Each structure stands twice: as C-alpha cells, then as structure tokens.
Amino acid sequence: MKLLTFLLAAFLPIIPYPQEVELTKGSFNPKGAPFTCDSSIGEKEYAQLALLADNLSNCCGKRSSIAPTIRLKATVDAGQARGFVFLKDGGIPAEGYVIEVSRKAVTVRFPDYKGLLNSIQTLKQIMPVCIYTGAPTDGIRWEIPCCTIKDAPRFGWRGMHLDCSRHFFPVEEVKKYLDVMAMYKLNKFHWHLTDDQGWRLEIEKYPRLTETGGFRDGTCIAKDMDSNDGIRYGGFYTKEQIREVIAYAANLGIEVVPEIDLPGHMRAALAAYPEFGCTGGPYTVWTSWGVAQEVLCPGKEGTMQFLEDVLSEVADLFPCEYIHVGGDECPKDEWKKCPDCQARIAELGLKDTKKATKEQYLQNYVTARMQQVLGSKGKKLIGWEEIMEGELAPGATVMSWKDGKLGAEAVRKGFDVVMTPYEHCYFDFAQSDSKDEPLGGWGTLPLKKVYEFNPTRGFTDEEAGHILGAQANLWTEYIPTSEHLEYMLLPRLQALSEAQWCSNGAKDWQRFRASLEIHLGILDLLGYNYRKPDR
C-alpha cells in the first residue's frame, strides 16, 4: 500500500496508460456508493455494471446497489451527481471513455460496449487490487483519487496470437488467456488452429481432419528435430467448444480471428486426405518443427474445392470480420515437379517475371479464390506477408512479421497492414540470454524491447493510416504446458498493450515499470504464472 500511495501522488498505475490524465486533490469513497445509468444502457452493459457493483460490495463489505435504468440527461451536473454514474455518449471515439472522479461521484461516459469495458478495467486499476477477486478484504482504505481521464485507443487492432497446433491448450486455459487480454484492453484473439503438427478445428464435411490430423505419433525432443519422444499427442476443439470460446471472448470485448494456414503448413490435413497433395502420399502428421516440404496441390480442382468447403464452414462458425488464411512459408518444389500444378499454371497463363516465379503467382491464384469465397460470406481475408509475393487482389489485409519490407510495400500499394515484427512481437523467444530461462524459440525478446515497439515507425502520416494496429505472436513448439505459456506471455503482454493503445507521448518506461509492480500483484491474486522482470 505504501507503493500505491507513492504512485498515486505522481500518476495513476494504469496499464495501458490513458491518453490524458489530470489528477486533482481529494478522493472518492466507493464503499456503498450507488450505481446509476441512463436508459440507453443495453442488457450486456447493465450486466457488466451489476458485476462491478457486486464485486465492490463483496470486497469492501458494504452493499453498492445498482438502480434500474433511469433516464438521465446527456450531461450530469457535477454538483448533483452521487455515486457511480454511467452515461452513453456518441461523441467519444470508438472503444474510448471519459472518467471524471470528484469527492462525491464517479461519472463515466462511453460510446459503446467496448468503451464501457475499457472504462471498467481502468476503474479497477485505480481501486485496491482485491477488486479483481471479489472477495472480502479487511484493513483496506477504499478510495479512488479525484481525476479526469480522457482515453481512446491509438489502434483498432490490438491483437494477441496463440498457436494451439504445435501444442494444444484446453478451453479453460484459452479463457484464462482471454481474461488477461481483456484486462489490458486487447481486442483481437488470433487463434492459430491448423498446421503441420496438428489440426485442431472440427470440420463436419471432413471429419478425418480431426480424427487423423488432430493427433501425431510423438514429438521431437527440445530442438533435436530428428528425435521423437514416442508419445502420441493431440486434441481438437468441437464446434460447440469453439462457439463457447467465441461467446466468452465477445463478452470480454474480444473478437476471435481463426487461422487456417494454407496452402503450406498443411501436412496434418494431408495425413487425413492424401489425395489433396501433389504426390498422393502417404503422409503423417509431422512430429518435428520447421517448414514441411509437403503442401496442398492447387493444380487439382478437388483440392481447391476442399479449401473452399473448409473456409465456408469456418466463415459460418466464426462471426468475426476477418479470416486468416496463413499463406506463409509455402515451399514450391513440389509444384515445380507436379503435372497438375504445371497444367494449372499453363491454364492460367502464368509466367516467371522479375518480380516473382510462376509458382508464386500460383499461390496468388489460391489466395484470390479463397478471398472470393470469404467475400461471399461477408468476410475479409488476412494473411501473413508472403501473400504479397507476386500479385495480391485488392481488399486483402497483410500481417507483416519479418523485416517490414513487404509490410511497407503493402502500405505503399494501399493495403491495410497489421504490424507484428518478430524482433518486437514473437513471445516464444526467450526473455533474456540467461541459461535459467525455459526453452524458447530462436531469439531473445526482453520486456523493454516489446515496450519500445512503435507500429508506425518509418511511415509517413498518410501511410500510417493503413496500419490497422499491432499484435504479438506466441508460437508453441517449445511451450507444452499452461504454466510455461503464461510465463512467456507475462508481463510482456502488459508492455505490448502500451505499444498498441498509447500514443507515443503517453509512453514512459519508468512510469510503466513502477506501475507494473502493482500489476504483478494482480497476476498473483488471479493465479497467473509470469516472469519476474529484471531490475
């Protein structure tokens, strides 16, 4: 509590930090304070306020009632307001909010459901940390510092990725992952569901994708790609479980973006349906890491129909705006030798150019057909930056993960881009060079380097308008357990949130590190594993 008092004297320990904060004298006592809201509050919004009121009541031992929705004026006289007052305000940017705390009232204005959720997360961060548990706590001084906070996100895409193909994580761990994303105002969950090492999503038209493709006969040991532990491994999500996760995420203000990686990274699918490959197999679900040479055969119309069927089911299952089609790391050696692929190339009149090979243009053909299928379902296509190789159809969105060159090219050509460069955003990388770190990927990514990430660095103001936002990726080749997963995620997620939310002027490494000490205590209360930051 001494540290909290010190922090409040200088700044509020909020992560990600708001765009504008003005601290004034005095504080508001929330114990037993009534909650009121205007008549435009919807059922979902009301439920969130009721939950906050219940948590506050349980923690401080004095009931905070929430009144039935009553009509209040769009503006509230600060001298008349009492308790917590929540108002819809269409003049505030999407997902933003304004909080005004006086000695008598906390007035919150927000434009939409996500704005309300974000305001609640901020309120909780300036209350005693026990608010996160909803459990009775004695000896706590309940006060909220008087202040005015005006806030809205810098970017609309604030994502976090999870690879459940290399290692499978149960629904409850996925929900826990979503919970901590919501705490720090992330709004896109990129769910990597298929790869060479496992197919994790039920597809009714192709049941062998999960029956066969969902399980592998062992896993390589550490980074010895030629080894195999001999332990059968796998799992998949039923459509019912997927819907459960989607609904859970939506309640937290998070959109689930599924990834079906194609036409490479498909060895698990080929193990189930070998007829869709260039050679016809036999194939096995891969027990090693890396990039498998076996890929789908776009020369066969049956393969293209398979992809269209799968993406149609995925589009019908997920209510999101975007569907991710991967498109990365697709070897072309098989296509060069495959009669069907070469016949398709000839049929399409594809030629080698200075820019790309005819096989790269063949992948463009696959991407364009999938874009048409998704468009017919009201969805947008997004893929890794390799979809830029050759020609990309207008309307697609690019996720830039390498050195930024293809991302910059996409921006210059007018495509929207999500920035996720590995040097700042690959959370499978170790967090230091220490030998004490658990096994990680092929690099090092310390906390401060995540914090220093600026998604629009190097772009003009006009070009930056095409940067939708940023996300980090958590690949799981070397991350087999939930405990290890959380260790790699936290506290780098908190640093990422400031890169996604804050304007550059609102970021301050020393302020962030001081605030983080409070937030590590919150993670302790909620039962998360995390890496203790270096001093």
Residues classed as catalytic: 195, 265, 329
User: Given the structure tokens 């904060």, which residue do they identify?
Assistant: 21
290: left (phi over 0), alpha (psi -120 to 50) or beta: left
* Cα–Cα distance list, 89 to 19, 111, 154, 156, 278 (Å): 18, 5, 19, 19, 57
How many helices (H) and strands (E) would you count in the chain? 18, 18
Token pair belonging to 149: 């906070």
How far is 183 from 118, CA to CA, in rounded Å? Answer: 8
On the CB side of 90, CA atoms within 13 Å amount to 1
CA atoms 444, 445, 448, 454: torsion sign: positive
DSSP state of 56: H
Among 359, 356, 369, CA closest to 295 = 359
Secondary structure of residue 470 in the 3-state scheme: strand
Token pair belonging to 150: 């005006």
Contact between 395 and 381 (Cβ < 8 Å): yes
Which residues, other chains included, contact 84 with Cβ-Cβ below 8 Å and sequence gap of 6+? 30, 33, 34, 35, 36, 49, 53, 64, 105, 106, 108
Angle CA 90–178–383, to nearest 5:
85
User: What does the DSSP assignment read for 274-294?
Assistant: GGGBSS--------S-S--S-
How far is 75 from 77, CA to CA, in rounded Å? Answer: 7
Report the greatest alpha carbon distance in the chain. Answer: 80
Per the DSSP assignment, residues forming a β-bridge with 37 are 86
Secondary structure of residue 151 in the 3-state scheme: strand
Phi, psi of 50 (to 5 degrees): -65, -40
How far is 477 from 222, CA to CA, in rounded Å? Answer: 9
DSSP state of 221: B
